[in-house]
């Protein structure tokens, strides 16, 4: 949190750092070890912005508003890195300066994001193992308004997705959008995915195979982390589309089944799900005077019922 009108002390890290603006308006200034602070790059951000600070750079966050605090979510691989080198000074107090980290180069990383077709270089893989188009950049101004979306029929609910690869980084994420009064298919993967809600109202259900279900209610700014290999499923109880942003761990933690022919074990199709899932969703909607918009044919076939 940054108090109203204040600026935090600068710091640096030897790893990439993704930042999501939960609420507030502010600035981030970035500069390299071999530069003066006024020679770096400064950019502004608002509610629900998403950006990544490159490694080995000083960064300083400031609150532009004098009447309310800023709340930021920081996500990085530092805990994983420190499991290999358990010395914080190695990552937080090292004078290494990347050769390409000039003010001009930093500014180019924060220029308008570009769509890359074909998935070359993408670290995020679809459930079917095929590369997909993605957006490449370091600054996304408002994830609640982002409308450059692709169909993601594989996950159901007529969902749309944007896939993001941060510039010159192994860090990636995706955001899914799905319509009011619908729900996604249950799926599972490896550990470390942090899920944030940019907009919408609903809940998720999580469970270890054969175990008890855990309910997670959510609304804008909610955050939760599905445990390793737990199934989880997302439900929209609102009257508008809902969005969830998933910050990805390293690709080695994807956690898909070892054999390609076994990947169906990591997703439950609507016809195969426990009937409780549908009944509970419909009862939660009924409490709000709403009715499910899930098409009946979704429960009769694996085919995409939203085509």
**pLDDT tens per residue across span 116-164:** 886 544 444 444 445 577 999 999 999 999 999 999 888 999 999 999 9
At 254, is the pLDDT very low, low, confident or very high (cuts 50, 70, 90)?
confident
Longest C-alpha distance within the chain, in Å?
64
Residues forming a β-bridge with 204: 216, 234
Whole-angstrom Cα distance, residue 215 to residue 228? Answer: 16
Give backbone dihedrals phi and psi of 64, rounded to 5 degrees, phi first: -85, -15
Residues in the chain: 307
Please give the radius of gyration of the chain, using alpha carbons only, rounded to the nearest integer.
21
Cα separation, 216 vs 194, whole angstroms: 14
How many CA atoms within 13 Å lie on the side-chain side of 134? 24
Query: What is the arithmetic mean of pLDDT over 173-177?
Result: 97
The separation between CA 3 and the C-alpha centre of its own chain, rounded to angstroms, equals 25
- Residues 186, 277 contacting (CB under 8 angstroms): yes
CA pair distance 60, 13, nearest whole angstrom = 12
- Report pLDDT for 124: 44
* Residue 131: per-residue pLDDT: 57
Residue 144: closest CA among 65, 223, 198: 198
DSSP 275: H
Token pair in block for residue 218: 């959510």
pLDDT digits (tens, 9 = 90+) for 50-84: 999 999 999 999 999 999 999 999 999 999 999 99
Domains within the chain, CATH numbers bracketed: 11-109 (2.60.120), 114-299 (2.60.120.10)
Q: Tell me if 26 sits within 8 A of 44, measured CB to CB.
A: yes
pTM over 0.75: yes
Percent with pLDDT over 90 in the chain = 74
Residue range 261-290: mean pLDDT, rounded? 90
Mean pLDDT of all residues in the chain? Answer: 89
pLDDT for position 257: 57
214-218: strand order across its sheet: 214-218, 202-208, 230-236, 186-187, 267-268
């Amino acid at each position: 949190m940054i108090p109203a009108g204040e600026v935090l002390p600068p710091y640096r890290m030897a790893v990439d750092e993704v930042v999501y603006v939960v609420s507030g308006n502010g600035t981030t200034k970035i500069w390299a070890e071999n530069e003066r602070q006024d020679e770096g790059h400064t950019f502004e951000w608002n509610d629900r912005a998403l950006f990544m600070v490159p490694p080995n750079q000083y960064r300083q966050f400031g609150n532009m508003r004098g009447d309310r605090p800023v709340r930021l979510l920081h996500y990085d691989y530092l805990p994983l890195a420190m499991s290999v080198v358990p010395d914080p000074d190695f990552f937080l107090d090292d004078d290494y300066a990347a050769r390409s980290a000039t003010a001009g180069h930093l500014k180019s990383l924060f220029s308008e994001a570009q769509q890359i077709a074909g998935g070359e270089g993408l670290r995020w893989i679809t459930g079917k193992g095929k590369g997909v188009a993605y957006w490449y950049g370091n600054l996304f101004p408002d994830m609640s308004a982002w409308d450059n979306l692709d169909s993601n029929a594989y996950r159901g609910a007529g969902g749309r997705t944007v896939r993001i690869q941060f510039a010159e980084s192994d860090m990636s994420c995706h955001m899914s959008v799905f319509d009011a009064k619908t729900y996604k298919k249950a799926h599972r993967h490896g550990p470390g995915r942090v899920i944030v809600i940019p907009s919408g109202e609903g809940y998720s259900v999580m469970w270890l195979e054969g175990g008890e279900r855990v309910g997670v209610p959510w609304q804008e700014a909610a955050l939760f982390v599905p445990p390793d290999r737990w199934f989880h499923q997302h439900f929209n109880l609102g009257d508008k589309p809902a969005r969830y942003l998933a910050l990805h761990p390293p690709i080695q933690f994807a956690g898909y089944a070892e054999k390609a022919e076994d990947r169906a074990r990591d997703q439950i199709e609507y016809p195969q799900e426990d009937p409780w899932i549908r009944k509970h969703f419909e009862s939660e909607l009924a409490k709000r005077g709403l009715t499910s918009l899930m098409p009946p044919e979704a429960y009769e076939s694996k085919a995409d019922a939203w085509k």
